[in-house]
């Protein structure tokens, strides 16, 4: 699955990336809208609907959003400014006494400590705010509590707090995003609690999706779109499949489809996300589709061809040419897959060459020197549609027989030794992927 939006958390280092263009708590910039016309002509029945400028704006902003989402791409000046902001926030947090504050000031103190990455203090203050009975920032205080527990690696308590939040608060954008973020974190940790938590949210998501409109924030301006509600609902089906619960997944998909059918109209942007989710879900358990490749970067003299080996799982990472953090992953991917003792699995980076306009390839001065010697291949832009890729990097794990066992966006540390990819590969030969109590060493 693609990662559920986590702008509302805005508190861990990764979340702080959004501060450059949005507020700390991720108020989305206004989409562009079409200029009003006094007498708009009625389109003919056969006309192709024109995309909304707001949808086009979001698509145009995607490369920037992907690039700025990783601190690996920040300049030294930006990283220095961020570090200074964290230092000041931590210092001011350490000098403050929570007992001196109440209401909005207490909530803002929790935000300050979160910015300073003083997670234990953040947790204490956020819990104090919740215990006070204050209502204005209650959902966000829960979200900060959950995030602080994630940062302190108390995932069991984070799950319990999220369940409490789902039971006690109205299901709004903040609650949905916070629960979705933790579910995705658990998924990337290969923690079976992801299935349990997704189940807790299911009926609430279906009710919200069935209303056919974005889910708003009760006390703010955030919102979760229809497409994002659909994606989060379908995440439960993905997790059930990963856990070997195929029959249950069929029922979940039926629920999601039925809820979506109640929507009178779905925007082009939402439909694009829905179609991408459906494409990825349809690939689970299927044979890896044929991939057209044009160049192999491990050695320019080698024929560009994907080789399958019945004795090894295969990992693919699909990403656009303009994604710098994705390109940096290729060396680590190649090193992990091919250690001196012999290959652990096959791995291919699938880089889509960018275009400026139909048929116009980006300038040739990009010689891919940063990826020479890596098992990366150049593929056409159309490869994205074949895999339902709209966020990057997209990881795909196929088992020894070539059947896809996992598909979804992955983090930039996915190829760490004994990390996410290596763990998924080790489990891809069995019927279940997520039913483990903790990450276990791979021998």
Q: Could you give all domains of the chain from N- to C-terminal order, each with its CATH number?
A: 15-30+54-283 (1.25.40.10), 295-427 (3.40.30.10)
The answer, as to whether pTM is greater than 0.85, is no
Query: CA 61, CA 32: separation in Å to the nearest integer?
Result: 11
Q: Which residues contact 335 (CB under 8 A, 6 or more apart)?
A: none
Sheet containing 376-379: which strands, arranged edge to edge?
295-296, 376-379, 346-352, 314-320, 394-398, 404-409
User: 208-212, long-range: CB within 8 Å, 24+ apart, which pairs?
Assistant: 208/171, 208/176, 209/233, 209/256, 209/259, 209/260, 209/262, 209/263, 210/259, 210/262, 211/262, 212/262, 212/263, 212/264, 212/265, 212/266
pLDDT given for residue 118 in this prediction: 96
User: Residue 286: is it exposed, middle or buried by C-beta count within 10 angstroms (0-12/13-18/19+)?
Assistant: exposed
Distances (CA, A) of 74 to 14, 23, 67: 12, 18, 9
The predicted pLDDT at position 355 comes to 55
Question: What per-residue confidence (pLDDT) applies to 134?
Answer: 93
Name 83's Cβ contacts closer than 8 Å, sequence gap at least 6: none
Low-confidence ranges of the chain (pLDDT < 50): 1-46, 357-358, 436-443
Backbone angles phi, psi at 282, to 5 degrees: -65, -20
Residue 45: what pLDDT? 42
Cα-to-chain-centroid distance, residue 358: 28
pLDDT of residue 37: 36
pLDDT at position 4, please? 41
């Amino acid at each position: 699955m693609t990662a559920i939006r986590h702008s509302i958390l805005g508190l861990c280092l990764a979340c702080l990336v959004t501060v450059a263009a949005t507020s700390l708590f991720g108020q989305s910039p206004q989409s562009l809208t079409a200029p009003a016309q006094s007498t708009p002509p009625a389109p003919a029945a056969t006309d192709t609907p024109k995309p909304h400028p707001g949808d086009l704006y979001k698509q145009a902003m995607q490369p920037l959003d992907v690039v700025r989402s990783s601190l690996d791409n920040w300049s030294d000046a930006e990283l220095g400014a961020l570090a200074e902001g964290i230092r000041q926030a931590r210092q001011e947090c350490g000098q403050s006494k929570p007992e001196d504050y109440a209401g909005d000031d207490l909530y803002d103190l929790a935000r300050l400590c979160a910015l300073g990455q003083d997670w234990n203090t953040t947790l204490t203050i956020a819990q104090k705010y919740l215990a006070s009975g204050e209502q204005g920032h209650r959902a966000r205080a829960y979200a900060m509590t959950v995030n602080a527990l994630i940062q302190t690696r108390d995932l069991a308590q984070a799950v319990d707090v999220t369940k409490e939040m789902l039971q006690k608060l109205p299901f709004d954008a903040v609650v949905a995003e916070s629960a979705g973020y933790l579910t995705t974190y658990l998924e990337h940790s290969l923690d079976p609690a992801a299935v349990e938590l997704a189940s807790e949210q299911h009926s609430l998501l279906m009710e919200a999706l069935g209303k056919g409109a974005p889910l708003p924030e009760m006390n703010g301006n955030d919102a979760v779109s229809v497409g994002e509600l659909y994606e989060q609902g379908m995440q439960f089906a993905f997790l059930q499949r990963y856990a070997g619960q195929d029959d249950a997944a069929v029922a979940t998909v039926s629920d999601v489809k039925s809820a979506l059918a109640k929507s009178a109209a779905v925007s082009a942007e939402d439909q694009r996300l829905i179609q991408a989710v459906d494409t990825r879900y349809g690939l689970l358990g299927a044979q890896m589709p044929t991939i057209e490749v044009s160049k192999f970067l491990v050695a320019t003299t080698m024929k560009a061809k994907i080789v399958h080996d019945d004795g090894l799982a295969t990992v693919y990472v699909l990403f656009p040419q303009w994604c710098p953090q994705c390109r940096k992953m290729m060396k680590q991917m190649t090193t992990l897959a091919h250690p001196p003792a012999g290959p652990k699995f096959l791995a291919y980076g699938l880089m889509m060459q960018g275009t400026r306009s139909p048929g116009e390839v980006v300038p040739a001065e990009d010689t891919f020197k940063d990826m020479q010697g890596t098992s990366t291949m150049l593929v056409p832009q159309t490869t994205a549609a074949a895999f339902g890729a709209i966020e990057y990097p997209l990881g795909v794990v196929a088992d020894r027989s070539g059947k896809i066992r996992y598909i979804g966006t992955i983090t930039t540390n996915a190829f760490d030794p004994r990390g996410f990819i290596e763990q998924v590969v080790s489990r891809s030969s069995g019927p279940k992927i997520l039913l483990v109590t903790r990450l276990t060493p791979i021998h």
